[in-house]
């Protein structure tokens, strides 16, 4: 016999069990779902054309690159990132996305073209997505490179405990992870 004080709790448990969806074990969760939800369909190539970004969900790692054309340290680092990308991308499971701090869209697109960035950028006009990413992942300055795993967890960052250590640390960490 169920005691009358326990009955309401038992009903809540049954209701919870009935209303909780069961996800089959074999149903694959998309990688980088939080990042992809934030950017929506706002990623563009250097010609400012929207691109399908579903392939990002298949990547194990994602590098979020906070940079700008007017930033001298960024202009020095970007060619290194492009070289790393071209050397490693074909055999490895990662992608890069630019989050620009340029003053306008034209400056961002020129920067992407001039430095031959082979990756996409968050559309300049999408202040909401850019600001959300800067608040969630960006540091206090640029260049800032952040390495996310498939669950959108920060694996490596240009900032460690608030101290700037630079984007080369992140590239070294990704390189080590890709060798495992």
The full set of domain ranges for the chain reads 26-179
pLDDT score of 20: 32
pLDDT score of 54: 82
Please give the residue that has the higher pLDDT: either 26 or 133: 133
Mean pLDDT comparison of 2-16, 37-51, 128-142, highest-scoring range: 128-142
pLDDT score of 29: 54
Residue 21 has pLDDT above 50, yes or no: no
Q: How confident is the model at residue 15 (pLDDT cuts 50, 70, 90)?
A: very low
Distances (CA, A) of 170 to 29, 38, 107, 158, 173: 26, 22, 26, 6, 5
Supply the mean pLDDT for the chain. Answer: 83
Enter the CATH code of domain 26-179: 3.40.30.10
Rounded CA separation 72/58 (Å): 33
Q: How confident is the model at residue 166 (pLDDT cuts 50, 70, 90)?
A: very high
Angle, CA of 161, 165 and 167, to the nearest 5°: 120
């Amino acid at each position: 016999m169920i005691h009358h004080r326990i009955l309401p709790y038992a009903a809540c448990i049954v209701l919870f069990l009935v209303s909780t969806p069961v996800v089959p074990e074999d149903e694959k969760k998309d990688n980088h779902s939080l990042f992809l939800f934030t950017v929506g369909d706002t990623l563009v190539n250097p010609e400012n054309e929207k691109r399908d970004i579903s392939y990002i969900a298949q990547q194990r790692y994602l590098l979020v690159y906070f940079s700008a054309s007017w930033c001298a340290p960024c202009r020095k680092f970007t060619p290194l990132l492009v070289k790393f990308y071209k050397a490693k991308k074909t055999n490895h499971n990662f992608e890069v996305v630019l989050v620009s701090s340029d003053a306008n869209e034209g400056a961002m697109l020129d920067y992407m073209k001039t430095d031959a960035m082979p990756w996409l950028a968050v559309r300049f006009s999408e202040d909401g997505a850019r600001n959300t990413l800067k608040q969630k992942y960006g540091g206090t300055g640029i260049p800032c490179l952040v390495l996310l795993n498939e669950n959108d967890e920060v694996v490596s960052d240009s900032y460690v405990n608030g101290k700037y250590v630079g984007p080369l640390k992140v590239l070294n960490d990704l390189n080590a992870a890709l060798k495992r």
